[in-house]
Amino acid sequence: MKTIIKTTAVLIASLYFAVNPASAQSNQTSKNQIMETSSIHYRTIKANGLNLFYREAGSNNAPVILLLHGYPTSSHMFRNLIPLLSGKYHVIAPDLPGFGYSDAPDHQQFQYTFDNLAKTMQAFIDELGLKRFALYVFDYGAPTGFRLALANPEKITGIISQNGNAYEEGLSKEWNPIQKYWQDPSQENRDALKDFVSKESTWYAYHQGVSDPSLIAPEAYTLDQHFLDRPGNIEIQLDLVKDYRTNVQLYPKFQAYFREQKPKTLAVWGNKDPYFLPAGAEAYKRDNPNATVKFYNTGHFALETHAKEIGSDILNFLDGLPK
């Protein structure tokens, strides 16, 4: 009896789609559209003379969110977040110069400063023709992204700062050796920071403050270390460490932007980050009444352990932004 019913159902369906081919085509088109918007595309574009790698997902007609990674990682850090956002948003995540799969010219041929990173990202958004976008910043992505916000306030619909610091009270004691180098940029102080790019330091950045280390995917820090170990990369990273002082000098300008523009802001913060303290997250509320702060019980790379929770909070936040 079940066989007869199943056969009859198949025949009815076949007759329906034979008479209504447009419906069958519509269903297939819908499936293709779903697959297209949920797929992550891996692309490269020329900007500021460099080949920049980026990940892209979601409909071209959807509101844009630009994801800017930090040290020592790349757009790979967003691999779990992008699928959560791309159903409703057009997600774009580039690798900064010197990181990931983007070009990493020798430090004597390219000026590794945060001004130049921002200049390159400005060229990137101009090449893509991005007119309006929400900005997600993390670690090095914060001073890079905030420079973009200062230069393009009309483009920014909102800001998500994931352990992206803009306040001196957010700097932990881990910055003390680096601040010593800022005050005295001698070769001796520069050489003292070479362990900054070691595999032990990278492992520490991923694991410190994490209650369940089994949630940390080993390919994440292994891939980061692969790029850090490229010949000449240590000089690139030490140049950026040296220039980070300019970000601290710009904190008052970033804070003035928050006060004057009052962009809707969501600070999502690993509360056990060894580098950027919770006080740096709370400080956003001091300058911006439109800032909301959420803490997660994890470390610096909060997406490694809390991607679903953070993704859900970001989606709720994005729903309230102007399109």
CB 241 within 8 A of CB 114: no
Name residue, tokens 């329906």: 16
Among 76, 107, 300, 306, the active-site one is 300
Beta strands, E only, the chain: 41-47, 50-57, 64-68, 90-94, 133-137, 156-162, 265-270, 291-296
Nearest partner of 92 among 112, 63, 114, judged by Cα = 63
Residue 44's CB is within 10 A of a number of other CB atoms, namely 15
Bridge partners for 57 per DSSP: 91
Per the annotation, the verdict on 69 as an active-site residue is no
Using CA atoms, how far apart are residues 309 and 297, in angstroms rounded to an integer? 11
- According to DSSP, residue 171 is labeled B
Residues designated catalytic: 300
